[in-house]
Chains A and B, each alone.
Chain A
């Protein structure tokens, strides 16, 4: 079996997948990748689209990986990728030659993804391959990758991209996100005494304490009423809770399944993927949309991921600047 050795793990690189949703009725969190769109794009670029395929989620670079054999690899959302003194643009499927380090120069925004043709050889635990870093199970030994770790690469059965060509994704530029679209929670009037404009008209800054469970936001505090009477309820990724200090928390894929703060609304799914790329200090606001529109946008976004066109083109390396 081919392997990929971790020569430099970066600050936080984890094995993740589409999430162990079947474990949620038993109290576990689905976890998995935060930016599902870039995850799926990476899988498409290596012809490996199973919702539980394992990838590497990269939070900061550089990450250096060394394959034992020639492998078809794709990195999405990275600043750039370097191999044998040549620069490969991000969001490209390419053949990486055996025993040559591949350097992922960190994410363009907050998270980048590395997929390999055949898939990483990571066993299913509780119906998923992702790392649960809070509870220390899943992924690679239940922890982020460390220097010297060796990941197996499953053999491929599909037809392979020729070594002389790259696989690219039909460009779909993503603008930096400034506004998250959401649907109001049904009980919004029970727990919030401020007018809706106080929430939708406000700027919120992403706090450094944000993580895979939630994006913590800071802005003008919202007034709550009856919050003490709120009984914990199941919550989903995308739910915006208002903590007792009046500040919003946007829940992400690694949230606990029970939430203790009143929800004000629910960010639509494609904007939630996008929100996974927010960094501390970024400023955002929220925009309410109607339920029917939210459902339509969400469906179209999933469809776009599976129907977007990939194409191949001849390999055209740009060499690294000589003074580098």
Chain B
């Protein structure tokens, strides 16, 4: 564990050099632990780091750092088990306006893009960029696609997208520069619930193609395992 200051009221903890799902789960466990420390107001999980922010008036940097160094490293004892989330997706058409572009870029068919994208689960490394936006790992190399040269000013909520070496979905409407290949009709974030997002770093996420004619779907509970 390495700890460095960040500005006048924060620090960053590094737990490794390369992202992997076990590391994400450790960072999540440490985040949950640290959020309970006196004076701490925020803790953000990254790929290999955790940024911790305290109240400049009530937080004591030395005390917080001491408590971090004393962390026993226990992960599973305190946490609910990691979960696997299935995200139903309408690929292509009006829901995925960039599916054909991604297919042409790689010289494959739209169906092959869908097959490659939904073939295996992805680890959730962290959340960021917008509410509930998951940074997912392990996008098949055959789908790595440079971002759009001009970002869209409005990407509809639920859009599933590829950007560079990453994939994910936009749970809420936002500007975005990734290629939109589909959309999930299920709402996975809830502004009026606590917590507003149910998945967390260290969980896994899988995209499941569904036909456009699929009947209306239930809530997120039908889609978790």
Chain A residues within CB distance 8 Å of chain B: 21-29, 125-126, 134-137, 182-183, 185-187, 231-236, 238-239, 256-258, 266-269, 291, 294-295, 297-299, 302-303
- Interface residue? B42 (CB, 8 A): yes
Q: Are A299 and B57 in contact (CB under 8 A)?
A: yes
Other-chain residue from B49, B57, B61 in contact with A234 (beta carbon distance below 8 A): B49
User: B7 to A267, Cβ gap below 8 A?
Assistant: yes
Q: B21 at interface (Cβ–Cβ under 8 A)?
A: no
B207 close to chain A: CB less than 8 A: no
Return A48 CB to nearest CB of chain B, in Å: 20
Report the interface size class on chain B: 35 or more
**Are the CB atoms of A236 and B131 closer together than 8 Å?**
no
| Smallest beta-carbon distance B205→chain A, Å | 14
Q: A291 touching B31 by the CB < 8 A rule?
A: no
Known contacts A21-B41, A236-B51: A295-B130 contact under CB 8 Å: no
Contact (Cβ within 8 A) B43 A25: yes
B6 beta carbon closer than 8 Å to chain A: yes
Contact of B121 with A by CB under 8 A:
no
How far does the Cβ of B68 sit from chain A's closest Cβ, in whole Å? Answer: 16
Given the complex of chains A and B, what is the CA–CA distance between A298 and B175 in angstroms? 33
B12 contacts partner chain A, Cβ-Cβ < 8 Å: yes
Instruction: Enumerate the 5 nearest inter-chain pairs by beta-carbon distance, A residue then B residue, closest first.
Output: A266-B7, A258-B128, A234-B44, A27-B127, A186-B4
Interface residues of B (CB under 8 A from A): 4-10, 12, 19, 31, 35, 41-51, 53, 56-57, 61, 126-133, 135, 172-175, 189, 191-192, 195-197
Q: Which residues of A contact B45 (CB under 8 A)?
A: 25, 234
A195 to B6, CA, bound (A): 21
Question: Which residues of A are found within 8 Å of B10, using beta-carbon distances?
Answer: 236, 266
16 A-B residue pairs with Cβ-Cβ distance under 8 Å, sorted by A, are A27-B197, A126-B191, A134-B175, A135-B131, A137-B191, A186-B5, A187-B4, A232-B47, A232-B135, A234-B46, A236-B7, A256-B128, A257-B128, A291-B8, A298-B8, A303-B57
Min C-beta distance of B213 to chain A, whole Å: 30
Tell me, in angstroms, the Cα distance from A291 to B61 when the chains sit together.
11
Residues of A contacting B8 with CB < 8 Å? 183, 266, 268-269, 291, 294-295, 297-298
Q: Which residues of B contact A236 (CB under 8 A)?
A: 6-7, 10, 51, 53
CB-CB < 8 A to B189: which residues of A? 26
Residue of A23, A267, A298 near B196 (CB, 8 A) is A23
Specify which chain B residues have a CB less than 8 angstroms from the CB of A185 in the assembled complex. 6
Instruction: Determine how close the nearest CB of chain B comes to the CB of A180; give it in whole angstroms.
Output: 12
Task: Determine whether the beta carbon of A231 is less than 8 Å from that of B130.
Answer: no
Contact A21 B42 (CB under 8 A): yes
The answer for the CA separation of A303 and B58 in the assembled complex, in Å, is 11
A258 touches B135 (CB 8 A): yes
Note all chain B residues with C-beta closer than 8 A to A136: 172-173
Closest to A289 in B: B8
Taken together as a complex, chains A and B put the C-alpha atoms of A297 and B127 apart, in Å, by 32
Assembled-state Cα–Cα distance A20/B43 (Å): 13
A322 CB to closest chain B CB (Å) equals 47
Contact B172 A135 (CB under 8 A): yes
Beta-carbon contact of B128 and A27 below 8 Å: yes
Residues of A within 8 A of B56 (CB): 269, 295, 298-299, 302
- Looking at A22, A28, A234, A299, the one whose CB has the most chain B CB atoms below 10 A away is A234
Asked whether B44 lies within 8 Å of A25 as measured between CB atoms, the reply is yes
